[in-house]
Structure 1
Amino acid sequence: MDGDIRLRQRLAAGDDGALRLAYDRCSPLVYGLALRVTRSREAAEEITQDVFVSLWERPYDFDPNRGSLRTWLALLAHRRSVDWVRREERQRNLLDTVGDSEPSTLILDMIIAEETGARVRRAVAALPQRLREAVELAYYHGRTYRQAAVELGLPEGTVKSRIRSGLRRIADSLAEEGSAS
């Protein structure tokens, strides 16, 4: 555990040797897990790269007090692999429905929009109630800050702060899932 703490500190300091060390130790596990779930070498390579880029960009997302680096990276790899499989399945189902073997740009755009919308809805649902209410009023019900403040019985500045905070949490959640990249 002490080694993982030091490694995280080195990553946070921008030490690319720490990333190399983490990659050397854990990439076979990450790649193997991604390959097992996706059954695609290309997808496993992409997921492996994405997992280590996430570690490099956000080393403090890993908490050594909650588990080992290997376990955390495996969890990220599994989560992203399952997302990849679901995305591929939705695309196949949509193509079967359309009956087209070559998806058009419009169809691919629709798939991406549907997937992004679902992720945003999950991120909004995960917000604390006070933030979720403000975000929903502004973005799902088209209320202005002032209208949302009146409905919630709060000062306008409070509502603005809650919306900003909610949007920041949603962005962080999407980035954590890898969809903001």
Structure 2
Amino acid sequence: MDPGVPAPSGSPSGASAGAAAELAELLRRSARGDRDAFASLYDAMAARVHGLAVRVVRDPAQAEEVTQEAFLEIWRTASRFDADRGSAVSWVLTIAHRKAVDRVRSAEAASRRESTYHQQNQSIDHDSTADAAQASLEARRVRAALTQLTDVQREAIELAYFGGYTHTEVAALLDLPVGTAKTRIRDGLIRLRDTIGVGR
């Protein structure tokens, strides 16, 4: 059974109207390319987005990847947010939920393809070869983009999204305050997005 979709409208539980309005303003500023606003939005919502991703995909490492993908999508599409149609929290969590469900469905589809392949016992592996080639191309793009980061940004990103460590663990490994580790990860994400050219 698919996990429940976050409530589409209304103020987030436990949050004041003022906090909801502040998040909405951060999204509007992010839509105009304000990186400081996006940084504040990330700090305010990262834990909730990651928590939702963990509940859906059931795997901490994949949940970190889903969190990254969700925030890249939020940065890219912030201009689509409409406060008249729902709260900022709901909009952000809906994107995160969709990314998480897409990840689960992709994994299930891959599992079905593999099962079908083995059942049919065919020697031709065209589909898997194409998939591997596409994955290799994407991996090369990401590796090339990583070289454009500063050393400290790259180190933090690699630990968080390839090593599977939480922000707190990254901070401990790098002997940094948690806030500094979050900033490096967030700035690295923005720079990766700009280098890869998401949405262009």
What is the TM-score of this pair, normalised by structure 2? Answer: 0.49
Summarize the alignment of residues 58-69 of structure 1 with structure 2, pairs less than 5 Å apart: 58-69=77-88
CA root-mean-square deviation: 2.9
Counterparts of 2:59 and 2:25, CA distance in 1? 34
Report if aligned partners of 2:74, 2:95 keep a CA contact under 8 Å in 1: no
Partner residue of 2:128?
107
SS in structure 2 at match of 1:65: helix
Check 1:96–1:22 CA distance in 2 against 1; reply closer, same or farther (3 A cut).
Answer: same
| One of 18, 29, 34 as aligned partner of 1:15 | 34
Q: In structure 2, what residue type is equivalent to 1:33?
A: L
Check 1:39–1:180 CA distance in 2 against 1; reply closer, same or farther (3 A cut).
Answer: farther
1:108 Cα shift? 5.8
For structure 1, the residue ranges without an aligned partner over 5 or more in a row are 114-178
Counterparts of 2:48 and 2:73, CA distance in 1? 16
What does the per-residue CA deviation read over 1:25-57, in whole Å, with 9 as the maximum and x for residues that have no partner? 111111111111111222211111111112212
Counterparts of 2:115 and 2:98, CA distance in 1? 26
- Could you list the runs of 4 or more consecutive aligned residues of structure 1 that deviate by over 6 angstroms after TM superposition? none
Q: In structure 2, what residue type is equivalent to 1:23?
A: Y
Q: Which has the higher contact order (CA 8 A, sep 6+)?
A: 2
1:2 Cα shift? 3.3
1:112 Cα shift? 10
Q: How many residues align?
A: 113
For structure 2, the residue ranges without an aligned partner over 5 or more in a row are 1-19, 135-197
Summarize the alignment of residues 27-42 of structure 1 with structure 2, pairs less than 5 Å apart: 27-42=46-61
1:6 Cα shift? 2.2
Q: In structure 1, what residue type is equivalent to 2:130?
A: D
Q: In structure 2, what residue type is equivalent to 1:65?
A: D
Counterparts of 2:29 and 2:116, CA distance in 1? 50
1:79 Cα shift? 1.1
| One of 117, 141, 144 as aligned partner of 1:98 | 117
SS in structure 1 at match of 2:86: coil
Q: In structure 2, what residue type is equivalent to 1:80?
A: K
What is the TM-score of this pair, normalised by structure 1? Answer: 0.54
Partner residue of 1:139?
none
**Aligned-residue identity in percent:** 33
Report if aligned partners of 2:31, 2:78 keep a CA contact under 8 Å in 1: yes
Counterparts of 1:3 and 1:65, CA distance in 2? 15
1:180 Cα shift? 7.0
